[in-house]
Structure 1
Amino acid sequence: MIEVRDLETMDRSALAALWTRTFKRPVPARMSQPMQRRFLAHAVQVARFGDLPPAIATRLDRIAAGSERKASPALKPGARLLRTWNGVTHVVDVEPDGFRWNGARHRSLSAIARAITGARWSGPRFFGLMTELDQNEQGGGRKRTGSAVRSGGHR
C-alpha cells in the first residue's frame, strides 16, 4: 500500500499512473503536481482510515455552499480576551457561566462591547472571534479602531 509520504518523491508519470488507478480516469488537463499530490494524499488516507462520517460530510457541504455558517470558536472557561479600544486595553475572562470584565460578571460579550463602546456591537465581532468571511457576510468590512487578541489557557 502506498503511503502519503511516498507521493512527494513521485514524478509526473508515476503520479498520473496512480491517479488513473485511484480515480479510474486520467489526470485533468493542467492540474499541477502539487494539486495531484493533495488529491491523492486524501485518497490514500480515506483508503487507510475511512472517509468522513456522512453527517459531517453533509454539514461540510452545506458550509461550503454557504447555506450554513461556521460557528464562532467555542470559548472555554479560563480563556482571556484582550481588546484595545481608544487606547485602553480591556481584559475579559471567560467563566463557566458568562464573562468577567472590570470585576463584574456579564452574560454576553455583546453587553461588554456595548459598555466599552457605547454603541451596539456584536460581542464576538468586537473581540475578534468571527472569521473574515463572517464579518463580510454581516457587513463587517468597516475599518476597526482597535485591536483584538484572544488567548487561551488558565490564569
Structure 2
Amino acid sequence: MRHGDFNRLSREELIECWTEIIGSPPPHKLRSPMMAKILTCEHQWQTSGRPRATLVRKLQRLTGAPPNSTLPATSGQRLVREWSGVEHTVDITEAGYLWNGKTWRSLSAIAKEITGTKWSGPRFFGVQT
C-alpha cells in the first residue's frame, strides 16, 4: 500500500490496518485523520528498512555504546553524505581525503566546500578522526 492511500480508507479499514501494522487496536478516541497520519509514518518506517530510534537507543544501552557514537575513519573507507539532494562520496586514502577527483587534507575543508559554511568535517560525515 502506498502511504497516501491511508487517507482514502474508511474508519473501519483504518482500524484494521492499524491492528495489522501496529499490532494492537488503536486508542478508542483517535480520529481517522490522525490515525491515517500515524499509519503513514509507521508504514514509511517499516518500508525504509531503518531501525526505529527507540530500538537503536535500547541496543546502545544494552551494549554499553555511547549514544550517537561515531565510527573511526580509516584508510580505504568510503564516506557518503547527501546534502541538498546531492550525494557526495569521499574516499579515505593514505594521502588524505579524495573528493571530486582532488585530494584534500581535511574533511572540514570538504564539508565547507559542500555546504558553503564552516562545519566540523568529522561531524558532517559522522566519523571520528
Return the TM-score normalized by structure 2.
0.43
Structure holding more helix per residue: 2
Structure showing greater relative contact order (alpha-carbon pairs closer than 8 Å, 6 or more residues apart): 1
Larger radius of gyration: 1
